[in-house]
Structure formats: structure tokens, C-alpha cells
Amino acid sequence: MTTISSLELRSKITSEGRLELWLEKVTVPKPAADEVVVRIDAAPLNPSDIILLLGPAEPASIQAGGTPTHPTASANIPLQHMPGLKARLDKALPVGNEGAGIVVDAGSDVQALVGRTVAARSQLGMYAQYRVVKASDCLVLPDGVSPREGASAFINPLTALGMVETMHRDGHSALVHAAAASNLGQMLNRVCLKDRIPLVNIVRSQAQTEILKQQGAKYVLDSTSPTFPRELVEAIAETGATLAFDAIGGGTMAGTIVTAMEEALSAKGKSYSRYGSPIHKQVYIYGVLNPGPRILEGNLGTAWGVGGWLMTWFYEKIDSATAQRLRDRVTNELTTTFASHYSSEISLADVLSPEIIVAFSRRATGEKFLICPSGTRS
């Protein structure tokens, strides 16, 4: 095969406080014996990708630059965010956690993969036209499954299954999820319905309530309702949920969930203890929809925990047989339980367009963008 060149997205924040985005032209290296070259046809814009891509830049402040054939984009970073960015300053970072496409070349050991459709993850960034990855890091998609259908095969499905697996491992029997109307939230709802796990969905509007109700969710609570605190205690008492996953992060939600769990458990207790319920109540924060301080108010009791949770580290911690079982489930249910929906398809150059950046930064419910780096609509 002749040399392939590839355009790849780069994000840099300079010491001077500028965000710079551009497409870097690189030569695709030859695959090693155990590697494949994937032409990336579809890669989703997940919330964690958007955070890396833009940093704390205000989306509306981003301006186009460069030329039509070499587009760029840039913005000023608000000064107060600079101390937190020290570790990434002046580094040209690749972007894109996952994607899917066609194997166009392969090393000597894995020739059989040529022509197959695969999903893949790479630290080197999947917002690229081509990417060399280890064959063992690919999920070979079943016949008939397109790159578009496989583009989100890793992050959201393995996150939803990781949450359920965490629940089982830590001895809980029901879940609370906020904010639950996201693509991931809808996926978690499907997993819990299928596995008969009670799930308390917390959403932030009546419209989101309808979305989940239509998908068969039993408990959907609108956190903007004045009766929300009471409904949350009741739903937790009914389901017995003592574990929650929270994508909001900042603000009062994590504390509100712990206090509701403590109230539900204390009401069941026989006698008064100054220490509250001895049953451990846990909220894992896995997102930063609200980047502000996390405020834990009210009576949490003494048996509680709030902490970070990251899918990647969860899978590094568990044994490989369990991880394989969960990955196999994703492959088998990729077009049903784990189906993702996209509202827009964009090109790699579109990611540098100020209007499109504003659109995907909104992260509105029901809106999810798919990048098609190779230009091949899938």
C-alpha cells in the first residue's frame, strides 16, 4: 500500500491564554504486525471530548481563522481558568475518544481484518481521517452494522454497563441517575429495564420527563419541580437505592441525593441513633455539566461517600473476564440496547466552525453530533 496522509484535529491552549484549533496533516505510519489502519468514518462528539476540545473557552467567543483549505479557530481563555490548565499548556492535543470505520491496511498477524468494520478507541485521537490502532483495541462489528452504528460502541455503552456492574460489586440493588435524559441516560434506562434493576431517573425539565416515560421508565423526577425533594425521598424509599451516578457535578445535586437516601433509611430505622443510618450511601460524580463547586448540604448522616468515577479506570480495576463479558454484551446489543442517535453529521473541518461549535456546545437533550472525518457518509 502507498503512503497515506491524514488530517487530524488538534487543540492547544497557549501560555498566553489562547485556545487554538486546527487540522494537522500527518503521514499515517505503517502498521506493526499486530496493528491495523482504520479509515475513520464516524466519531461522536461526547461531552468529555468537548471539554478537552474547547477547554474553558466560551463557545460564543470562538473565531474562525486560517484559509478555506487550512481552517483554524481560536478564542481567549478567561484568566481565572488558567491556573487549572497548567498541565496542558502549549501541548497540541489530539481529540476524540472513540470512533468507527473500515480497516484499510493491517500488519502481518492481523491481515484477516482488512475490509472489516471496526470500532476503536485511541489516546491518539479519533478525530482524524486515519488512525493506526492495535487490533486488540478494536471491537469487530457484526456484519451489517455500519460505522455510524458502531461509532459510540465504547464510551456510553461501557459507562452504562460499568455503572450497573459497580452497583452489583458494591452490594447495592437499585440506582439513581442524574441527569438522566442524556444519550447515556436513555441507554442506562434500557439496560436497567432489561435487567430489572430499579432506576430513579432525575431530569431537568418536563420535556425530558416525557422522553424517558415514553421509553418505559418508571421513576422520572423533574428536579425543577417544587415537589422534587419529597418525590426523591419516596422513590428512594420504594426502590431501596443507595447508589447514584451524577453527571451534573457542581451545585447541590449530589448532596440532595445523599440526604434523601439518609432520610429514607432513617425513616425505616427502629430507634434513634445520633449517627444516623449505618447503611452506606454513595454518589459517584462522573460528569461536569455544572463546573461550579460541589455543595453538600443538610443531614448526610455518617455513612456516606461522594467521589469521582471514571469508566476507563473502572475497567482497569476489574478482572479481564468480566470486562470481556461486558464488551461482548455491547457487541451483541449494539443496534438495540446500546443504539445511539445523532441529530447532525459534520465534517472534520466543521468542528472548527464557530456556528457549529456553539451548536454542539449547547449539549441540548436529543442533540448529539457525529463527525465523519473520512468524508464518507456512513
List residues near a second copy by CB under 8 A.
Answer: 48, 51-52, 84, 86-88, 91, 93, 255, 266, 269, 272-275, 278, 282, 293-310, 312-313
Residue with Cβ nearer a second copy (100 or 300): 300
How far apart are CB 210 and a second copy at their closest, in Å?
A: 32
Residue with Cβ nearer a second copy (110 or 303): 303
Residue with Cβ nearer a second copy (213 or 363): 363
Q: Of 297, 255, 305, 301, nearest to 275 (Cα)?
A: 301
How far apart are CB 48 and a second copy at their closest, in Å?
A: 7
Residue with Cβ nearer a second copy (29 or 307): 307
Strand partners, 203: 222
Cα three-residue angle 356-60-183, rounded to 5 degrees: 50
- Is residue 235 within 8 A of residue 200, CB to CB? The reply is yes
How far apart are CB 148 and a second copy at their closest, in Å?
A: 26
Residue with Cβ nearer a second copy (144 or 308): 308
How far apart are CB 274 and a second copy at their closest, in Å?
A: 5
**Which cell is 63 given?**
473565531
Residue with Cβ nearer a second copy (84 or 375): 84
How far apart are CB 278 and a second copy at their closest, in Å?
A: 6
- Cell numbers 430507634: residue: 271
CA atoms within 13 A on the CB side of 204: 12
Phi, psi (deg, nearest 5) at residue 180 = -95, 0
Residue with Cβ nearer a second copy (209 or 361): 361
- Is residue 99 within 8 A of residue 373, CB to CB? The reply is yes
Q: Of 184, 107, 100, 106, nearest to 142 (Cα)?
A: 100
- Cell numbers 469508566: residue: 311
Other C-beta atoms closer than 10 Å to the C-beta of 243 total 23
Output the CA torsion sign for 288, 290, 294, 299.
negative
In the 8-state DSSP scheme, what is residue 85? G
How far apart are CB 355 and a second copy at their closest, in Å?
A: 25
How far apart are CB 99 and a second copy at their closest, in Å?
A: 17
Strand pairing class (117-121; 199-203): unpaired
How far apart are CB 61 and a second copy at their closest, in Å?
A: 21
Residue with Cβ nearer a second copy (189 or 256): 256
Amino acid in the structure at residue 205: S
User: How far is it, in rounded angstroms, from Cα 158 to Cα 319?
Assistant: 15
